[in-house]
Amino acid sequence: MGKPDLKVDFAGIQLANPVVLLSGCVGFGEDLARLEGFDFGDVGAICLKGTTLTARQGNPPPRVVETASGMLNAIGLQNPGARHVVDEILPRIGNWPTKLIANIAGSNVEEYGEVARIFDNSPVAGIEINISCPNVKEGGAAFGSDPLVAARVVDAVRKGTSKPIITKLSPNVTDIRTVAKAVIDSGTDGLSAINTLMGMAVDIVSGEAVLGNFQGGLSGAAIKPVALLQVWRVYEVAQPHGIPIMGQGGIETGSDAVEFILAGSSAVGVGTSLFKNPLNGGDVAVGVGEYLAESGHDSVASLVGTLKARSR
């Protein structure tokens, strides 16, 4: 048997391998470009830092705190605004030998559509929608907590771009499948699951919340079991429609990635582990290739969703 094929067609985006570096973990990638030993060709894609219509300063510090087997972050979408990213940043990074995926956010449905239109005329290969943002017109509830509102966001983005759309699902809902089904019906081309879980940290000496924003998103190895279950649930509703999933949440090794692929992921996101090892995305891709070779699979696609119940 020949060398396994790591190439992945994810919602029409051709990836050299299934590993995607996640939004918020590598900025716009320019620091990686200066890192000795890093090769953009080692990963399938990079999801750029979350971008809004206008520039944002983000939340007050502290913004990041390490937790048991994970990390809490409350950055607050600090970014220079969509027009600056398209006009100033993308011309510098658009020729890297990997795919670039924009990550967009908004404070109302209309803003999502406007940001999508700005990125439509740019070299990004696709657009990931962050629906975990607070909807200022509806009292601050996250767009992703209401299937109907989430569907409206996808519809607005679909009208603003011809590029593939990936909707990033929040686990902070009663049933993630309901939201997944709504955005599939509204025209998303792919799904990413999961976004961070909400949590907080407390300093018992000062009696204060550690994060300046009180609450933040929990990521890292601590959330992996939750993420695996949510991916498996989302696959149940996505697979009949041929909608691929980018599984993420605590992936640190090739073995972790394979677990997500078995549960239904066509691509896998690496995020928090990059803060310990910025080269880890390439290591994960190598690990996936080794597993495929050892298990007799000739492609990533042949492994997707093949999880079996334990025999008794």
**Which residues carry out catalysis?**
133
CA nearest to 188, candidates 142, 228, 246: 246
- Give CA angle at 241 (236, 247), nearest 5°: 55
CA 304 → CA 111, 131, 167, distances in Å?
A: 35, 25, 19
Dihedral sign for Cα 218, 224, 225, 231, please: positive
Q: Which two tokens stand for residue 10?
A: 């994810």
Angle at 181 between CA 246 and CA 309, to 5 degrees: 65
- The Cα 147–Cα 177 span in angstroms is 10
Cα separation, 230 vs 130, whole angstroms = 17
Q: What 3-state DSSP class applies to 288?
A: helix
- Residue type at 127? I
Tokens of 183: 């955005």
Q: Residue 244 in contact with residue 126, Cβ under 8 Å?
A: no
> Helix, strand or coil for residue 233?
helix
